[in-house]
Amino acid sequence: MSILALVARRALLAIPMLFGIVTATFLVTRILPGDPVAHLAGSFATEETVQQLRAQYGFEKPLLEQYVDFLGNIVQGDLGTSVLTGAPVFDDLMRTLPSTLELITLTLIVACTLGITAGVTAAINRGRKSDSAIRGASFVLLAIPEFWFALVALFLLFFKLGIAPAPVGQIGLTDERPKEITNAVLLDSILTLNWTAFKAAAYHAMLPVLTFGLILSAPIARLMRSSMIETLEADFIRFGRSLGLPRKVLRRYATRAALPPVMTMAAMIFTTLVGSAVLVEIIFSWGGAAQYAARAVEYNDYNAVQGFVLIAGTISVVVFVLVDILYMVIDPRIRIDSPGGGFLARLRALPAGLRARLRPRVGGEELAPLSAPLAVAPPIEEVAPRRTPATVARAVVSIPAKLAGLIVSAWHGLRRPGLWNRSLVAGTSIILFFLIASFVIPAVWPDDPMKADPGVALQSPSARHPFGTDASGFDVFVRVFTAPQTDLKLAAFGVLIGAFIGIGLGIAAGFSRGWFGEIVMRITDVVQAFPMFILALVLVSLSGNNIKNVVFALAFVNIPIFLRLVRSRVLTVRELRFIEAAEALGNSRGRTIVRHVLPNAIGPAIVQFGLSLGYGILAVAGLAFLGVGVSVPTPEWGSMILTGRSNILTGQWWTVVFPGIALAIAVAGFNLLSEGIEQSRELSGSRRRPAAPPRPKATPGVQRSTEMQEATV
Amino acid sequence: MAVDRRRFLQAAATVGAVGVGGSVLAACGSDSGSGSSGGASTSGGTSGGSGKALRTLTIATNAAAASWDPDTSEANPHIACWASMYDTLVDPSIPGGFDEAKATMTPDFEPAGMLASSWEVKQNGREWLFTVREGARSNHGNVLTAEDIVWSLQRPIGIGGLGNFFMSLAGIKDPEQIRAVDGRTVSIRLASAPPPYLLSLLALPWLAIYDATEVSRHTNSGDEWGTRWLARNFAGFGPYQLANTTPDGSLTTIERNTGWWGELPAGAAEQQIYQFLPEDSNRLQLLLSGEAQVAFLLTSLQLEEVEKSGRARIESLTTPATFFLGFNNSQKPFDDPEVRRAVLSVIPYDEIISSVYRGQAERWKTIGPPPWFEAATDKFWRYDSGAEAAREVLASVRDPVKLSYTAGSSTEEQVSIMARQALIDAGMKVDVEAVPAAAASEGRRMGRLQFFTDPWDSPAVPSSFYALRQLFTTDAIQPTLNYKNPEIDKIYERGVKASGAERTAALEDAQKVLVDDAPMVPVAWTGTRIGRSADLSGFRSVAGSIVWTRDIHTGS
A517 vs B470 pLDDT, higher one:
B470
Would you state the pLDDT for residue A362?
29
A288 in Cβ contact with A341 (< 8 Å): no
Alpha-carbon distances, residue B334 vs A230, B185, B331, B415 (angstroms): 69, 52, 6, 19
Tell me which chain A residue has its CA closest to the CA of residue B288. Answer: A159
User: How many residue pairs bridge chain A and chain B with CB atoms within 8 Å of each other?
Assistant: 264
Phi/psi for A568 (5° steps) reads -60, -35
Q: Which of B26, B301, B413 sits opposite A202 (nearest CB)?
A: B26
Range from A155-169, A646-660, B60-74 carrying the lowest mean pLDDT: B60-74
Task: Say if the Cβ atoms of B281 and A645 lie within 8 Å.
Answer: yes
Task: Say if the Cβ atoms of B301 and A4 lie within 8 Å.
Answer: no
Q: pLDDT per residue over A668-698, tens digit each?
A: 998 888 888 877 776 666 555 444 444 444 3
Per-residue pLDDT at B454 exceeds 70: yes
What is the C-alpha separation between A474 and A443, in angstroms, rounded? 16
Range from A21-25, A164-168, A223-227, A382-386 carrying the lowest mean pLDDT: A382-386
Q: Which of A3, A287, A298 sits opposite B436 (nearest CB)?
A: A298
What is the C-alpha separation between A190 and A102, in angstroms, rounded? 12
Region at A128 (left for phi over 0; alpha for psi -120 to 50; beta for the rest):
beta
Indicate the SS3 state at residue B278: coil
B127 in Cβ contact with B189 (< 8 Å): yes
B47 in Cβ contact with B282 (< 8 Å): no
Q: pLDDT per residue over A468-485, tens digit each?
A: 999 889 999 999 999 999
Find the largest Cα–Cα distance for chain A. Answer: 88
Q: pLDDT per residue over A390-418, tens digit each?
A: 766 776 777 777 777 767 766 666 666 66
Would you state the pLDDT for residue A44?
58
Task: Using pLDDT thresholds of 50, 70 and 90, give the confidence band for residue B58.
Answer: very high
Q: Is the dihedral of CA A93, A94, A99, A102 positive or negative?
A: positive
B523 CB-side CA count, 13 A:
30
Calculate how close chain B gets to A261, using CA atoms only, in Å: 19
Average pLDDT over residues A27-48: 63
What is the C-alpha separation between A373 and A689, in angstroms, rounded? 10
Calculate how close chain A gets to B216, using CA atoms only, in Å: 18
Task: Using pLDDT thresholds of 50, 70 and 90, give the confidence band for residue B321.
Answer: very high
Task: Using pLDDT thresholds of 50, 70 and 90, give the confidence band for residue A25.
Answer: confident
Which residue, among B282, B356, B433, B442, would best test binding to A if mutated, counting the most A CBs under 10 Å from its CB? B282
A536 vs B378 pLDDT, higher one:
B378
Q: pLDDT per residue over A268-308, tens digit each?
A: 788 888 877 888 888 888 888 888 888 787 776 778 888 88
What are the DSSP calls for A45-70, one per residue? --HHHHHHHHHHHTTTS-HHHHHHHH
Q: Which of B227, B275, B434 sits opposite A545 (nearest CB)?
A: B434
Would you state the pLDDT for residue A119?
93
Average pLDDT over residues A434-455: 92
Average pLDDT over residues A550-554: 84
Q: Is the dihedral of CA A42, A46, A47, A49 positive or negative?
A: negative
Per-residue pLDDT at A613 exceeds 70: yes
Residue (of B235, B238, B208) closest to B219 by Cα position: B235
Per-residue pLDDT at A514 exceeds 80: no
Q: Are strands B401-406 and B430-435 parallel, antiparallel or unpaired?
A: parallel
Average pLDDT over residues A602-612: 80
Hey, how many other C-beta atoms are within 10 angstroms of the C-beta on B15? Answer: 10
Calculate how close chain B gets to A631, using CA atoms only, in Å: 5
B417 in Cβ contact with A472 (< 8 Å): yes
**Residues shown for chain B:** 556
Would you state the pLDDT for residue B39?
28
Residue (of A174, A169, A179, A236) closest to A208 by Cα position: A169
Which residue, among A110, A631, A634, would best test binding to B if mutated, counting the most B CBs under 10 Å from its CB? A631
Calculate how close chain A gets to B307, using CA atoms only, in Å: 12
pLDDT, averaged across chain A: 78
Q: Are strands B251-256 and B240-245 parallel, antiparallel or unpaired?
A: antiparallel
Residues facing B188 on adjacent strands: B128, B178
What are the DSSP calls for A262-286, one per residue? HHHHHHHHHHHHHHHTHHHHHHTT-
B525 in Cβ contact with B545 (< 8 Å): no
Radius of gyration of chain A, Cα coordinates, nearest whole angstrom: 27
Tell me, what amino acid is at B366?
A: T
Angle A594-A495-A340 from CA coordinates, rounded to 5° = 65
Average pLDDT over residues A636-645: 87
Would you state the pLDDT for residue A158?
84
Per-residue pLDDT at A176 exceeds 80: yes
Q: Is A625 on the interface with B (CB under 8 A)?
A: no
Tell me which chain A residue has its CA closest to the CA of residue B5. Answer: A329
Range from A116-125, A356-365, A584-593, B339-348 carrying the lowest mean pLDDT: A356-365
A517 in Cβ contact with A567 (< 8 Å): yes
Residue (of B105, B109, B133) closest to B119 by Cα position: B133
Residue (of A688, A713, A675) closest to A136 by Cα position: A675
Calculate how close chain B gets to A285, using CA atoms only, in Å: 6
A151 vs A401 pLDDT, higher one:
A151
- Chain B residues touching A199 at Cβ < 8 A: 28-30, 32-33, 36
Range from A156-165, A330-339, B124-133, B508-517 carrying the lowest mean pLDDT: A330-339
Task: Say if the Cβ atoms of B279 and A283 lie within 8 Å.
Answer: yes
Q: Where do the H-state alpha helices sit in B407-450? A: 410-425, 437-445
Would you state the pLDDT for residue A10?
72
B76 vs A82 pLDDT, higher one:
A82
Would you state the pLDDT for residue B280?
86
Residues facing B542 on adjacent strands: B546
Radius of gyration of chain B, Cα coordinates, nearest whole angstrom: 26
What is the C-alpha separation between B292 and B44, in angstroms, rounded? 8
Task: Using pLDDT thresholds of 50, 70 and 90, give the confidence band for residue B369.
Answer: very high
Indicate the SS3 state at residue A514: coil
Phi/psi for B16 (5° steps) reads -60, -40
B328 CB-side CA count, 13 A:
18
The 3-state secondary structure of B46-69 reads CCCCCCCCCCEEEEEECCCCCCCC
Tell me, what amino acid is at A495?
A: V
Per-residue pLDDT at B20 exceeds 70: no
pLDDT, averaged across chain B: 86
Q: Is the dihedral of CA A606, A612, A616, A618 positive or negative?
A: positive
DSSP state of A469: B
Tell me which chain A residue has its CA closest to the CA of residue B229. Answer: A87
Would you state the pLDDT for residue A682?
67
Q: pLDDT per residue over B293-312, tens digit each?
A: 999 999 998 999 899 988 89
Task: Say if the Cβ atoms of A457 and B231 lie within 8 Å.
Answer: no
DSSP state of A160: I
Calculate how close chain A gets to B436, using CA atoms only, in Å: 6
B465 vs A454 pLDDT, higher one:
B465
Residues facing B325 on adjacent strands: B453, B521
Hey, how many other C-beta atoms are within 10 angstroms of the C-beta on A409? Answer: 10
Would you state the pLDDT for residue A687?
55
DSSP state of A456: G
Would you state the pLDDT for residue A414?
64
Residue (of B18, B128, B101, B69) closest to B548 by Cα position: B101
- Chain B residues touching A285 at Cβ < 8 A: 250, 275-279, 282
Per-residue pLDDT at A131 exceeds 80: yes
Range from A62-66, A216-220, B13-17 carrying the lowest mean pLDDT: B13-17
Angle A279-A285-A290 from CA coordinates, rounded to 5° = 50
Region at A457 (left for phi over 0; alpha for psi -120 to 50; beta for the rest):
beta
Q: pLDDT per residue over B191-217, tens digit each?
A: 888 888 899 999 999 999 999 999 999
What is the C-alpha separation between A22 and A18, in angstroms, rounded? 6
Confidence (pTM): 0.77
Q: Is B23 on the interface with A (CB under 8 A)?
A: yes
Q: pLDDT per residue over A357-372, tens digit each?
A: 333 332 333 333 333 3
Q: Is B302 on the interface with A (CB under 8 A)?
A: yes
Indicate the SS3 state at residue B177: helix
Report for A145-154, A222-231, B217-226, B232-241: range of highest mean pLDDT:
B232-241
Would you state the pLDDT for residue B179?
95
Per-residue pLDDT at A634 exceeds 60: yes
What is the C-alpha separation between B265 and B143, in angstroms, rounded? 23
Task: Say if the Cβ atoms of B277 and A167 lie within 8 Å.
Answer: yes
B-contacting residues in A 57-96 (Cβ below 8 Å): 82, 84-87, 92, 95-96
Q: Is B280 on the interface with A (CB under 8 A)?
A: yes
Q: Where do the H-state alpha helices sit in A299-398? A: 302-330, 343-357, 389-397
Phi/psi for B403 (5° steps) reads -100, 115
Task: Say if the Cβ atoms of A169 and B286 lie within 8 Å.
Answer: no
What is the C-alpha separation between B65 and B80, in angstroms, rounded? 10
Would you state the pLDDT for residue A47?
66
Q: Is A174 on the interface with B (CB under 8 A)?
A: yes
Q: Are strands B312-317 and B451-456 parallel, antiparallel or unpaired?
A: unpaired
Per-residue pLDDT at A711 exceeds 70: no
Per-residue pLDDT at B282 exceeds 80: yes
Q: Is B364 on the interface with A (CB under 8 A)?
A: no
Would you state the pLDDT for residue A365?
31
Range from A474-483, B4-13, B67-76, B263-272 carrying the lowest mean pLDDT: B4-13
What are the DSSP calls for A658-678, one per residue? HHHHHHHHHHHHHHHHHHHHH
A487 in Cβ contact with A617 (< 8 Å): yes
